[in-house]
Amino acid sequence: MNALRRNVLKGATGAGAVAVAVAAGLITPTRVLAAPRAAFDAKNLADAMKGMGLPAATDSKDIVIKAPDIAENGAVVPVEVTSSIAGTSAIAILAEKNNTPLVADFELSGGAQGYVSTRIKMGATALVRAIVTAGGKTYQATKEVKVTIGGCGG
Amino acid sequence: MMNRREFLQMLAVAAASGMAIDSKKALAGDVDFYNLPKFGNVSLMHMTDCHAQLLPIYFREPNVNIGIGEATGKVPHLVGEHLLKKYGIKPGTREAHAFTYLDFVQAAKTYGKVGGFAHLKTLVDKVRGSRPGSLLLDGGDTWQGSATALWTNAQDMVDACIALGVDVMTPHWEMTYGAERVKQIVDNDFKKAGVDFVAQNVVTADFGDQVFKPYVIREMNGIKVAIVGQAFPYTPIANPRYMVPDWSFGIRDDGMQKWVDDARANGAQVVVVLSHNGMDVDIKMASRVTGVDAIFGGHTHDGVPQPIEVKNAKGVTLVTNAGSNGKFLGVMDFDVKNGKVAGWKYKLLPVFSNLLAEDTKMAALIKKIRDPYNDKLNEKLAVTEDFLYRRGNFNGTFDQVILDALMKVKGADAAFSPGFRWGTTLLPGDVITMDRLMDQTAITYPATTLTNMTGETIKTIMEDVCDNLFNADPYYQQGGDMVRVGGIHYTVNPNKKIGERISNMMLNGKAVDPNKTYKVAGWAPVGEGVTGAPIWDVVAEYLRDMKVIKPVKLNLPKVVGIGSSNPGMV
């Protein structure tokens, strides 16, 4: 059980570990961003890709996105991306219908596993897209996550 | 010579032509209705979605249950004669009455009420008598759906299920009593009684720890049988999330596969899933997860006479669905040889109250539960001249009464009522008591609302709910029916995509203007902190005022785009 971990986190005023690190001055917000600010400010998918300096990606079955089919809470949608492509050096996550689609861009180095797990905010039903950089090439996979009004079930 | 079935058919005809029949006498020949020849060495009984109906009731099956995508025209999306034909059931028979809406009122008068825990107990004991050690599985939606369940905070159903001899359970509506109450029952009443509460797909929202046992292994005739639980995946979406704030649900195929493999590794020779996914979701899951012998399903309230055999990468999984409201008991017999299932037989037994004597102990328990509330339960609100039911994709006559009440009492232009699939049926001439009204409305978030909405918002809501019902991918469906709409006529095309299904919305002969604001009444808000008179007070006020419910004008949409002879719609 994770009861201890849970209590420790609750003790940290409920903030996530990364937020705590930022607050403690361990990392500055700009250093958290792997991609340039412009990519995160981009209003559509194409501009976000351009902002990250990435070419059009090819579809890959070696990328697995784990996310709910229907979000329980659009404000915190858990998303996991696993890339088994050799030499994976970056994983970006985009929610296509968000005002600014680029949600996260993780740089992986030193032979880190191609795996990231985070929670993203989604305003509407959309494709969640994972962009993987490996060996200088760009790959992608998508998964639809539905955001619904709720109620009326069963 | 006339056989029993033909005799009953003749009686039904006789009744239809106005001949008086004494149903008890007419049915005296049915004593062997429940004699199931013994088969195999592992037997599992399955009940689901009884919705807290302790006493016998009427329950009409739908005449509209449209299948979309791969489910088009397939089980469970067959209604009426299409279903009878598929399973070789003769029209006009007792079985035909159990499984379809056909000639419902007349047949209900002939064959009587269904379900009731005292009658069900007699049947469960009868099956156990011929199959010692057999297990009783409860697929959930057991603690909600009646006045006494709500007023006793589910304690009546917990006590009744323990007395019935339930062995293993998985939840859905149970969660609407709140996480704390669920844990209290699981950790105390159920633990003491040896009832296992299983759900592989309920985990903590922070670290993904299992909240309940994912599965349990029980033994019968020395054979290990694993039962994996699958709670309703969309509980925090279809019902209030604030009631289970720290738990996450979802379908979780990967978790299911992991626990099925784990159960096999721990010596299970039979692995079954006790599921509240809904049948279309179960069928898809059966094609993706391997190593499951059978999925015992519920949620969508489909009374399916025989399992569907679904192929997957490593074999075949049987998928069943056992109806609702205590109307059916499924009995699955497995013949297990050399460590695996070598054969099976299944029967979905309708629980006809006239054919099963009451179990006296259970009857006494039910009386004890109801006695303190008798005055409230028996309050006469109105008499209905119409036949009142709920089930169906788009609307039911009782839902129409609720919509009419909401619009009149609240002074609204239009009304929404949730597409719930529970709620009992009343015959013409029946008294609508508070007990019967609560059958349609007893939930823990009963507030009614009156909201100003633009025409555009109204359409967005209708499109959203419609997609939960008709999305071509079952994993995006939630299993309820379409939101019932009062005041607004519309056209629906189930085969279109979200945003394109609803058209021709008309209010009082005028097109609904996307920019105009309308007063819309509703109930059962899933958001926290919404206040308003409970729905039963609003409808009771209307019924007391009306005194007699005249034939109801059912607001049904025009359905297009499903072909002229869709077997899911009559």
Q: What is the pLDDT along chain B (570 residues), one digit of tens a residue?
A: 445 554 445 444 444 443 334 444 444 445 578 999 999 999 999 999 999 999 999 999 999 999 999 999 999 999 999 999 999 999 999 999 999 999 999 999 999 999 999 999 999 999 999 999 999 999 999 999 999 999 999 999 999 999 999 999 999 999 999 999 999 999 999 999 999 999 999 999 999 999 999 999 999 999 999 999 999 999 999 999 999 999 999 999 999 999 999 999 999 999 999 999 999 999 999 999 999 999 999 999 999 999 999 999 999 999 999 999 999 999 999 999 999 999 999 999 999 999 999 999 999 999 999 999 999 999 999 999 999 999 999 999 999 999 999 999 999 999 999 999 999 999 999 999 999 999 999 999 999 999 999 999 999 999 999 999 999 999 999 888 999 999 999 999 999 999 999 999 999 999 999 999 999 999 999 999 999 999 999 999 999 999 999 999 999 999 999 988 899 999
- Give the Cα separation of B345 and B540 in Å (integer): 46
Looking at the partner chain, which of B207, B238, B278 has a beta carbon nearest the beta carbon of A6? B207
Residues 59-118 of A with CB under 8 A from B: 66, 68-73, 78
Say if CB B229 and CB B199 are below 8 A apart: yes
B496 Cβ under 8 Å from any chain A Cβ: no
Sheet containing B431-433: give its strands across.
B431-433, B380-384, B548-549
B174 Cβ under 8 Å from any chain A Cβ: no
Q: Cβ neighbours of residue B462 under 8 Å, at least 6 residues apart?
A: B483, B485, B490, B502, B505
Do the Cβ atoms of B467 and A148 come within 8 Å?
yes
Say if CB B317 and CB B342 are below 8 A apart: no
- Give the Cα separation of B202 and B229 in Å (integer): 9
DSSP run (H or E) holding B162: helix B155-164
Find, in chain B, the residue whose alpha carbon is nearest to that of A68: B250
**Check whether domain B378-559 has CATH 3.90.780.10, yes or no:** yes
Domain range summary for chain B, segments of one domain joined by +:
1-32, 40-57+113-367, 378-559
Give the best residue of B201, B213, B478 to mutate against chain A (max A CB count within 10 A): B478
Q: What is the ipTM of this complex?
A: 0.86
CB count in 10 Å sphere of residue B535 = 26
- Give the Cα separation of B97 and B104 in Å (integer): 7
Q: Cβ neighbours of residue B400 under 8 Å, at least 6 residues apart?
A: B484, B486, B552, B553, B554, B555
Looking at the partner chain, which of B173, B207, B476 has a beta carbon nearest the beta carbon of A70? B476
Reported CATH class of domain B40-57+113-367: alpha beta
Chain A, chain B: beta-carbon pairs less than 8 Å apart: 87
DSSP letter at A70 equals B
B204 Cβ under 8 Å from any chain A Cβ: yes
